[in-house]
Amino acid sequence: MSELQNYGIPIPLVNYVMLIRNRRSPYYDIVEHLLKDMEMHYKKWEGSEVVYTINPRVLQEEIEEKVQNEKLTTVNVCRTILALLHGSKLREEEDYYVTTTSGGRRNYHIKVNPYTLNLMSRFL
């Protein structure tokens, strides 16, 4: 784990990175679903860069249809998304950004292009 801390991944997310890399459900399932959906959106727009928006609450509902797991909470979905972004070494503001609603909920926006798709695919 100290290897991951050296790469600037916040300590609470190190565990999530390890769970994803070890293919633990539901964390790996979330990342796999996101990557497939991002690739589909990218191909739909014929290879031009698109901004893929992730609403953690909506994502949780989509994943719950496929995976039944008591660990599938909005907090864990948010942390899994952040672990994917940090573990893939995506750069904040350049490759992704986070917005906050007036109610305090966060949405994650990823610029989907060959570079970001490649980094996230290699993470798995």
Number of domains forming the structure of the chain: 1
- Where does residue 112 fall: left (phi above 0), alpha (psi -120 to 50 degrees), or beta otherwise? beta
Q: What is the pLDDT of residue 7?
A: 62
Residue with more model confidence, 53 or 101 = 53
CB-based contacts of 97: which residues, under 8 Å, 6+ apart?
109
The pLDDT score that the predictor gives to residue 2 is 45
Where is pLDDT greater, at 79 or 8?
79
DSSP secondary structure, 47-108, as one string: T--EEEEE-HHHHHHHHHHH---TT--HHHHHHHHHHHHHHTTPPBTTTEEEEE-TTS-EEE
Q: What is the pLDDT of residues 4-63, one digit of tens each?
A: 454 678 888 999 999 999 999 999 999 999 999 999 989 888 767 899 999 999 999 999
pLDDT given for residue 22 in this prediction: 95
CA distance 84 to 90: 9
The predicted model gives 92-107 an average pLDDT of 93
**104-120 tens-digit pLDDT:** 899 999 999 999 999 99
Give the predicted TM-score (pTM) of the model: 0.90
Name the residue range of residue 9's domain. Answer: 2-123
* Region 67-91 average pLDDT: 92
